[in-house]
Amino acid sequence: MEQNNTRRRPNRGGKSTPRSAPQALSSNEGRRAPARDPLPTGPFADMGIDHRINANIAALGLTKPTPIQEQGIPAIVEGRDVLGLAQTGTGKTAAFGLPMLTRLINFGKKPDPKTCRALILAPTRELATQIATNIDAYAEGTPIRSFRVVGGASINVQTERLSRGVDVLIATPGRLMDLIERRAISLEATTYLVLDEADQMLDIGFIHTLRKIARMLPRERQTLMFSATMPKLMQELSDTYLTNPVKVAVNPPGQAAKKIEQGVHFVSQGDKATLLAEYMSKHTNELAMVFGRTKHGCEKLAKLLEKWGFAVAAIHGNKSQGQRERALEAFRKGETKVLVATDVAARGLDIPEVAHVYNYDLPNVPENYVHRIGRTARAGRDGRAVALCSPAELGELRAIEKAMKNTIPVIGGEVPSAAMAAAAGPAGGAQRGRGKPMDAGASKRPARRPSRQPKSRQA
Ligand code: AMP
């Protein structure tokens, strides 16, 4: 079995054994694109990254390592397990992807049928797709093949592809378990594992699936776990999966990135849609994400905004995979300017043009606030995040501020008194989560219609 090959066995002792220079592959069979000329210089090459991958990433503009890459790649190249505390947008896909691809290239053999050498687990279909796109771009012109398996796509097609074996499998945990149970894939030869956005996988309720998957993996493996926050359950996950990990933190967990200008506007639940439309009418040409709590609420809000003339799409768990991909694509291209989303559908998305984030409903898990607003101010840009807070959400707002160790400046409305907040309804996030956050009053037209462009010009 591959995991018995000592060349691939990670150094678990924690001693420094820098990798030798990447070896040339004996075969270039199966190339998809002509390889770029190898680039043997630069900071990534100095860190042991394969010269062909180095040429690919240089062409993509990755010439100077980000902090997570600078701190993480040397430890990963050494074979250490890593616990990375980093949000998306910090360059963590390359931090784990580049050494992983280098290692697979150096191994130089095809995977056995129904096995994968490397497994990347991600909480959502969208994040899995984004990772797969990045990995393919980094690996272009090399023999390394990746494959993405997510729910909502044909399991038979996935089974057929896995029958040949795959170098890098990128999966959501639920679909991976389905495929394992059908014996379409075995993890017995998987010696490189990445758990991306691990805290969100816990939030979604994947802990049992992750425990099961852990038991199927070889003990001799290298595991990297990335998380933006470090809730208590993460410690259990970390103990289950990681051995003597190197900890790398580029942003203190739970704190928002600095370039995001944040504000909270107090408003009654029934007036939120009107207020949102007023805010958005000031920037009709810029991309904005609006977060709601429930699938139904997001759908309703998107329809309302569309009626009011915004070029809008919604993305949540009730949409088919095709609908989700089309909505994201249109948003990425700027054809729709507004994306209304639930947490499950939207975390981890990397769309640098997103200039505004609106928390239409405050999240009932405080850490999700940080993830949501992290959709803006990416790739060195600025961003603005506005929370629309109803009296009943005062408790959530304070919990968010506590988690961030910061207060969010008030930019509108009046801070509700404690008595008003209590009278407005239950403040407990979980309880509110079962209700309907978008109430009937939201269907009123805005008092001042958004000064928008004609729809045809927005699209
Ligand atoms: P991630 O945190 O992996 O989602 O990456 C966020 C964005 O940063 C992606 O668009 C990457 O292409 C980009 N990126 C990653 N590493 C670098 C780098 N060293 N220099 C410039 N951009 C980078």
Nearest Cα residue to atom 10 of ligand 1: 350
* Contact of 204 with 123, CB cutoff 8 Å: yes
Give the residues surrounding ligand 1 with Cβ less than 6 Å away: 61-62, 64-66, 69, 88-94, 350, 379
Same domain, yes or no: 239 and 326: no
Same domain, yes or no: 46 and 14: yes
Domain assignment of residue 255, yes or no: no
- Percentage of the chain modeled with pLDDT above 70: 82
Q: Which amino acid is at 299?
A: E
Same domain, yes or no: 245 and 275: no
Q: Which atom of ligand 1 is nearest to the CA of 64?
A: 19
Domain assignment of residue 362, yes or no: yes
Domain assignment of residue 446, yes or no: yes
- Domain termination residue (choose one: 216, 249, 282): 249
Same domain, yes or no: 10 and 74: yes
* Contact of 356 with 329, CB cutoff 8 Å: no
Q: Which atom of ligand 1 is nearest to the CA of 90?
A: 2
Same domain, yes or no: 242 and 273: no
Decide if pLDDT at 173 tops 80. yes
pLDDT-based confidence at 2, cuts 50/70/90? very low
- Following CA atoms 310, 313, 318, 322 in sequence, which dihedral angle do they give, to the nearest 10 degrees? 150
Dihedral pair phi/psi, residue 214, rounded to 5°:
-55, -35
User: How many angstroms is it from 253 CA to the middle of ligand 1?
Assistant: 19
* Contact of 231 with 202, CB cutoff 8 Å: yes
| Tens of pLDDT, residues 284-307 | 999 999 999 999 999 999 999 999
User: How many angstroms is it from 426 CA to the middle of ligand 1?
Assistant: 41
User: How many angstroms is it from 73 CA to the middle of ligand 1?
Assistant: 14
Same domain, yes or no: 315 and 445: yes
Q: Which atom of ligand 1 is nearest to the CA of 134?
A: 12
* Contact of 123 with 342, CB cutoff 8 Å: no
SS3 label, residue 368: helix
User: How many angstroms is it from 89 CA to the middle of ligand 1?
Assistant: 6
| Tens of pLDDT, residues 54-70 | 999 999 999 999 999 99
User: How many angstroms is it from 100 CA to the middle of ligand 1?
Assistant: 16
Q: What is the pTM of this model?
A: 0.66
**Choice between 306 and 13, residue whose per-residue pLDDT is larger:** 306
Same domain, yes or no: 155 and 71: yes
Strand partners, 249: 85
Kind of pairing between the strands at 192-195 and 222-227:
parallel
- Lowest-pLDDT choice from 7-21, 392-406, 432-446: 7-21
Same domain, yes or no: 130 and 241: yes
Rg of the chain taking only CA atoms, in angstroms: 23
Q: What is the mean pLDDT of residues 402-416?
A: 90
* pLDDT score recorded for residue 216: 96
CATH code for the domain of 269 = 3.40.50.300
Q: Which atom of ligand 1 is nearest to the CA of 348?
A: 4
Please name which of 168, 183, 159, 187 lies closest in space to residue 122, comparing C-alpha atoms.
Answer: 168
For a substitution probing ligand 1, which of 60, 73, 93 has the most ligand atoms within 8 Å of its CB?
A: 93
Domain assignment of residue 162, yes or no: yes
Q: DSSP E strands: which ranges in 191-254?
A: 192-195, 222-227, 246-249
Strand partners, 341: 291, 315
C-alpha–C-alpha distance, residues 113 and 115, integer Å: 6
Nearest Cα residue to atom 5 of ligand 1: 91
C-alpha–C-alpha distance, residues 36 and 54, integer Å: 10
For a substitution probing ligand 1, which of 46, 62, 259, 375 has the most ligand atoms within 8 Å of its CB?
A: 62
C-alpha–C-alpha distance, residues 331 and 100, integer Å: 30
Q: Which atom of ligand 1 is nearest to the CA of 88?
A: 2
Mean pLDDT of the chain: 83
Domain assignment of residue 301, yes or no: yes
* Contact of 62 with 44, CB cutoff 8 Å: yes
User: How many angstroms is it from 331 CA to the middle of ligand 1?
Assistant: 19
| Tens of pLDDT, residues 232-264 | 788 888 998 999 999 998 865 455 556 789 999
User: How many angstroms is it from 62 CA to the middle of ligand 1?
Assistant: 7
- Lowest-pLDDT choice from 149-153, 171-175, 238-242, 374-378: 374-378
For 439, the domain range is: 260-457
Same domain, yes or no: 198 and 277: no
- Lowest-pLDDT choice from 206-210, 222-226, 328-332, 450-454: 450-454
| Tens of pLDDT, residues 348-362 | 777 888 999 999 999
Q: Which atom of ligand 1 is nearest to the CA of 60?
A: 12
Kind of pairing between the strands at 287-291 and 146-149:
unpaired
Decide if pLDDT at 102 tops 80. yes
Nearest Cα residue to atom 20 of ligand 1: 62
Same domain, yes or no: 245 and 271: no
Same domain, yes or no: 194 and 331: no
195's tokens: 């758990």
User: How many angstroms is it from 90 CA to the middle of ligand 1?
Assistant: 6
Nearest Cα residue to atom 13 of ligand 1: 91
- Domain termination residue (choose one: 249, 281, 301): 249
Domain assignment of residue 254, yes or no: no
- Lowest-pLDDT choice from 74-83, 246-255, 383-392: 246-255
Listed in sequence order, the residues at least 6 apart from 310 whose beta carbon sits closer than 8 Å to its beta carbon are 277, 280, 284, 337, 338, 450, 452, 458
- Give residue 163's region: left, alpha or beta (phi > 0; psi -120 to 50): alpha
Indicate the number of domains in the chain.
Answer: 2
Cβ neighbours, 10 Å, residue 32: 12
Same domain, yes or no: 204 and 228: yes
- Domain termination residue (choose one: 199, 229, 249): 249
Q: Which atom of ligand 1 is nearest to the CA of 87?
A: 2
Q: Which atom of ligand 1 is nearest to the CA of 66?
A: 19
**Choice between 77 and 26, residue whose per-residue pLDDT is larger:** 77
